[in-house]
């Protein structure tokens, strides 16, 4: 187990004197593994962070709907607009690994506010763009802010909430990640149809300004007394590796781009190998591989990554299946897929009670199988299915998958001490982004190959079905990793041990 040195009373007093504790808030007692008690406003803190993440997740999906209209205004072909998407991914790949180190040095509240400010400024620049080049630069600026918001927001929550309240707090944090990709496309369609496409970016401005103020008012500025030295070489190698892998995954599904995609993936894998050689044994590595020595963190990363393949694929496959395979309008498709958001919201209040009753291991094993098989059922959607049956199926899928990621994202940090919390959130967020992108890639490749194998010029409903079954079959293998969790893993977080003793 990784053990840091304890901070003394002088350090705590310095935090109070420097305004690190939020106005009106009490300083929670802390231990090596985080606060022993949660602040009175921990639910508000979770909601503030969730709102900022919701802004980012909606923005990342709403843009795709407007690309054809934007291309027409810029006087270019629609396919050339893909660089506006990939420039954002590049910024994520480069800066997510650095987020933990930067937060340790300058304080989590300071970095989180700067991330929101950068995202808002990037959104404003996107709305003012008059050319593709301006849009690409603005999206990269947005991506820098987005890269900091996800891991630093999670870090703020982990350092603000006691273990016994973590499931409840984390369930709030997971809602935007699940409903953002679902609400984005129909919202984008509405804006493009009835307003100017620039409002896709302008809607971020009031949300960002409010979030900037709320973070400064209610969130503490946690920082390390002696932050690690910045790993410049590791930063460069991880940026090249992750950037090439993300671009390569994204290009695999494009016709005629196989050679370029293969080159990028090869370069990314080579840079990744060099990074591993560089990082082994280093205490200041920008992505700390030593975290994988903790079995709970390691299993959460592996099992969660495999499960996220389905989570990344479904926002890509579902709208296409309904509009191309079933002939639904974009509006009708959006009203059906929003069911997953409703299901994820319904889960929020039930997750703590389920985990207290069953514990993490049993919950992850059984719920993970149900969640994955639920999305496999989507492969059976067809013209004979009534809308209410599709809606109900997707609502259940959203419920079970939301629970699964609440559990993964909570138990991952059970054995991580306070000193390594920032590097753990950066590591976890990096793999989360990578596997979501891989899920889109695998879904696109599966759909493309199935369409060719069936001799179709364009994908049909049966082709979508096979693509769903392929990605869910891959994610179902996470069950074998879930079985490796210790029976008492996360017992302090879930309260399962206490509940078992009470009923025993």
Residues 212 and 261 in one domain: no
Residue 9's pLDDT is: 29
* Cα distances (Å, whole numbers) of residue 107 to 224, 290, 298: 8, 23, 27
Give just the sign of the alpha carbon dihedral 25, 29, 34, 38.
Answer: negative
H or E element: which one contains 407?
Answer: helix 387-411
- Answer whether 444's CB lies under 8 Å from 252's CB: yes
Q: Are residues 311 and 255 in the same domain?
A: no
Check residue 120 and give its pLDDT: 92
Q: Is residue 20 domain-resident?
A: no
pLDDT in tens, 420-433: 777 787 788 778 77
Instruction: Name, in order, each residue with C-beta under 8 angstroms of 412's C-beta and a sequence gap of 6 or more.
Output: 296, 297, 300, 301, 304, 424, 428
Q: Round to whole Å and give the CA distance between 99 and 147.
A: 7
* Residues 308 and 354 placed together within one structural domain of the fold: yes
Are both 261 and 146 inside the same structural domain? no
CATH number at residue 55: 1.20.1250.20
Retrieve residue 269's tokens: 């894998």
Both 382 and 249 in one domain: the answer is no
| 10 located within any domain | no
Asked, for residue 17, whether it belongs to a domain, the answer is: no
Q: What is the C-alpha to C-alpha distance for residues 272 and 225, in angstroms, rounded to an integer? A: 31
Residues of the chain with pLDDT under 50: 1-34, 498-501, 503-504
Phi first, then psi: give them for residue 30, nearest 5 degrees.
Answer: -120, 160
Rounded Cα distance between 171 and 167, Å, is 6
Q: How many CB atoms lie within 10 A of CB 474?
A: 19
- Residues linked to residue 31 through DSSP beta bridges, in sequence order: 34
Q: What would the two tokens of residue 252 be?
A: 């695999």
- Residue 130's Cβ-count burial label (10 Å; 0-12, 13-18, 19+) is exposed
In a domain, 13, yes or no: no
- How many Å is the maximal CA-CA distance in the chain? 72
Based on the fold, state whether residues 252 and 341 are members of the same structural domain. no
Number of other residues whose CB lies within 10 A of the CB of residue 452: 12
Residue 23 lies in a domain: no
Same domain, 428 and 497: yes
* Distance separating alpha carbons of residues 402 and 179, to the nearest angstrom: 10
The DSSP element (H or E) to which 34 belongs, if any, is strand 34-35
| Residues 184 and 240 occupy one common structural domain | no
239 and 225, same structural domain?
no
Residue 386 lies in a domain: yes
Asked whether residue 358 falls in the same domain as residue 480, the answer is yes
Q: How many CB atoms lie within 10 A of CB 377?
A: 16
Q: Which of 286, 316, 349 is the last residue of a domain?
A: 286
User: What was the pLDDT predicted at 330?
Assistant: 64
Helix/strand/coil for 186: helix
- pTM of the entire predicted model: 0.70
> 87 and 214 in contact (C-beta within 8 Å)?
no
Range(s) of the domain holding residue 260: 233-269
- Does some domain include residue 70? yes
Tell me the percentage of the chain whose pLDDT exceeds 90: 11
Question: Do 226 and 240 have their domain in common?
Answer: no
In the chain, the number of structural domains is 3
Whether residue 368 is found in the same domain as residue 419:
yes
CB neighbour list of residue 185: distance below 8 Å, 6 or more residues apart: 61, 62, 64, 65, 315, 319, 330, 333, 334, 337
User: Is there a domain that residue 124 lies in?
Assistant: yes
Contact at 8 Å (CB) between 79 and 64? no
């Amino acid at each position: 187990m990784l053990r840091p040195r304890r901070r003394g009373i002088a350090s705590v007093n310095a935090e109070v004197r420097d305004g690190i504790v939020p106005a009106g808030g009490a300083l929670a007692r802390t231990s090596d593994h985080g606060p022993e008690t949660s602040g009175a406003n921990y639910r508000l803190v979770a909601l503030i962070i969730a709102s900022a993440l919701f802004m980012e997740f909606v923005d990342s999906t709403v843009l795709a709907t407007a690309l054809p209209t934007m291309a027409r205004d810029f006087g270019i072909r629609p396919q050339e607009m893909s660089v506006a998407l990939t420039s954002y991914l590049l910024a994520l790949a480069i800066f997510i690994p650095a987020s933990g180190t930067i937060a340790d040095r300058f304080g989590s509240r300071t970095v989180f506010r700067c991330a929101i400010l950068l995202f808002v400024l990037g959104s404003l620049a996107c709305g003012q763009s008059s050319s593709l080049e301006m849009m690409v630069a603005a999206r990269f600026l947005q991506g820098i802010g987005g890269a900091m918001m996800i891991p630093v927001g999670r870090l703020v929550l982990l350092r603000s909430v006691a273990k016994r309240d973590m499931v409840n707090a984390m369930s709030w944090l997971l809602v935007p990640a699940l409903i953002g990709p679902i609400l984005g496309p129909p919202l984008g369609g509405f804006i493009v149809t009835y307003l100017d496409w620039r409002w896709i970016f302008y809607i971020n401005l009031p949300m960002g300004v409010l979030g900037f103020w709320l973070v400064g008012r209610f969130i503490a500025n946690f920082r390390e007394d002696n932050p690690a030295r910045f790993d410049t070489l590791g930063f460069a190698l991880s940026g090249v590796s992750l950037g090439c892998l993300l671009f390569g995954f994204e290009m695999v599904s494009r016709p005629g781009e196989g050679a370029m995609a293969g080159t990028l993936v090869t370069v990314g894998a080579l840079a990744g190998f060099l990074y591993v050689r560089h990082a082994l044994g280093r205490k200041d590595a920008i992505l700390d591989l030593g975290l994988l020595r903790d079995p709970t963190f390691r299993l959460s990363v592996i099992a969660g990554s495999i499960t996220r393949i389905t989570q990344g694929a479904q926002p890509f496959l579902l709208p296409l299946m309904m509009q191309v395979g079933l002939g639904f309008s974009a509006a009708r498709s959006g009203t059906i897929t929003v069911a997953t958001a409703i299901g994820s919201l319904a889960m929020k209040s039930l997750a703590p009670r389920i985990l207290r009753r069953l514990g993490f291991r049993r919950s992850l094993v059984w719920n993970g199988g149900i969640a994955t098989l639920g999305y496999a059922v989507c492969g059976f959607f067809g013209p004979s299915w009534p809308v209410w049956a599709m809606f109900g199926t997707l609502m259940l899928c959203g419920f079970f998958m939301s629970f699964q990621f609440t559990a993964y994202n909570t138990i991952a940090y059970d054995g991580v001490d306070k000193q390594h919390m920032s590097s753990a959130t950066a590591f976890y967020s990096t793999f989360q982004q990578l596997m979501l992108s891989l899920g889109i890639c695998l879904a696109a490749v599966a759909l493309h190959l199935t369409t060719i194998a069936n001799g179709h010029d364009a994908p049909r409903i049966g082709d979508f079905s096979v693509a769903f079954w392929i990605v869910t079959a891959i994610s179902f293998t996470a069950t074998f990793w879930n079985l490796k969790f210790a029976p008492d893993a996360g017992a302090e977080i879930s309260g399962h041990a206490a509940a078992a003793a009470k009923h025993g």
